[in-house]
Amino acid sequence: MNAPASHLHALKLSELIGSLSYALDITEGQPPGHCLRCCWIGTHIGRRIGLPEAQLWELYYTLLLKDLGCSSNAARICELYLTDDLNFKRDYKTVGDSLPQVLGFVLKHTGLKAGLAERFRSVMTILRDGPEIARDLVATRCQRGAEIARLLRFPQGVSDGIYSLDEHFNGGGKPARIAGEAIPIYSRIALLAQVIDVFHTAGGRAAARAGARARAGQWFDPRLVEAFEAVALSDTFWQTLAGSDIERAVSDIQPFGAGQESPLDDDYLDDIATAFGQVVDAKSPYTSGHSARVALYTDMIGEALGMSEARRRWLKRGALLHDVGKLGVSNSVLDKAGALDRSEWDAVKLHAEFTETILGRIGAFRELAAIAGAHHERLDGTGYPRGLSADDIRIETRIITTADIFDAITAVRPYRGAIPIPQALEMMGKTVGSALDPDCYDALVRAVERVPFPQAA
């Protein structure tokens, strides 16, 4: 079967980025569609203040991609706060600047499942070093987000807009404490749009308007709050924001700009898959480079099986994105060193469904979505999420599964060190026919023999 190139080449940048923004929403603990709703809000504010079309285009993508760096501080949040990073991130977006609000947030979110002494030490450390900790967390996120925006080939304006997302108009934000109009206009609009959406989702129009007004001159540029107040007079604006057709509405308001009408070529699709693979891998210190390695091993197995170069290139994108659903799983589970309990294991297993859901939103990726989402299925029917049996598991999925297991065994994990390649292959060989496809396993063995891997890899 040949790669569905014609479908891929019909794909538009706005469709792809809009769909992948759903992955960023679940990483931030936000209801699905958060970035799309922010894009709807922020683009209307940008039009209201008279931004020219080229700047509106950059603003549009800043809003869709504002959370690109969100996975990079998840592990650190879990380590510091002994908590679920998804709930922490969701609630942090509305914490004000006053000491009682900050203290209340820390006490409410720190170490709720930890022992009393451990929780006490964590809370005291955060209260002592809180400003520096918060600045470091935001700086990590902002810097990583800006880097990935550049990998996605967006202009410097988009990268800068993402970097300064958490700066406040009064100079009390992070990471650089810049103030007023020194903050990029895209960042000022994105922060306002983000908070409007969080308040609107929780409490409706009145809560959104009150939240914006209360922070005017502090977090937000007063001129932008005024522009939002004018936009907020429209019932249609609110109805669309709360409606089920928000994705199409956001696509319809995309400003004219470079790349809007240009189909995505294979090189750019490869770059996008690589960049989002990095977003996934940044979530845990134990998964650094995992997506890229699985893509490499997938390609090596595909080559050994005689798969065409075009099909291998297409499948590599699926391998790069196979774990995108892990963005919806808390690091408190992903990085746990001990055995997982039933609820934790159920949470981990959800990542396969999340992967299929996220990729399935992209019309041209539907085939890849099914292939990548099934990478934990087993030939004997005991895998997840659907318990598929051998006849229902495609060869492409079997390849990614083999590559994924090989990397999982040969990489360092929270509970053990890396296992040498010969031992890893021996362990895998025992599951051939039950978990692993015999042809894919043989292809992996042949491929590995051709490469001088270090023995302790």
Q: Angle at which helices 290-304 and 309-320 pack, to 10 degrees? A: 150
Helix %, strand %, coil % for the chain, to 5?
Answer: 65, 0, 30
Q: Is 205 exposed, middle or buried (0-12, 13-18, 19+ CB in 10 A)?
A: middle
Largest CA distance in the chain: 67
Cα 389 to the center of its chain, rounded Å = 30
C-alpha torsion 13→18→24→29, nearest 10: 180
- Give the separation between CA 428 and CA 419, rounded to whole angstroms: 12
DSSP helix/strand/coil, 100: helix
Q: Which of 89, 283, 316, 326 is catalytic?
A: 326
Contact residues for 155 (Cβ-Cβ < 8 A; gap 6+): 58
**What separation in angstroms does the CA of 6 have from each of 101, 137, 317, 359, 394?**
53, 42, 16, 18, 22
Asked if 326 is an active-site residue, the reply is: yes
Give the residue among 107, 85, 25, 117 at the shortest CA–CA distance from 330. 85
- Give the separation between CA 59 and CA 57, rounded to whole angstroms: 5
Q: Angle at which helices 395-410 and 421-429 pack, to 10 degrees? A: 130
Amino acid at 241: L
- Give the separation between CA 47 and CA 40, rounded to whole angstroms: 11
Amino acid at 192: L
* CB crowding 69-83: b at 16 or more within 10 Å, else e: bbbbbbbbbbebbbb
Catalytic site positions: 326
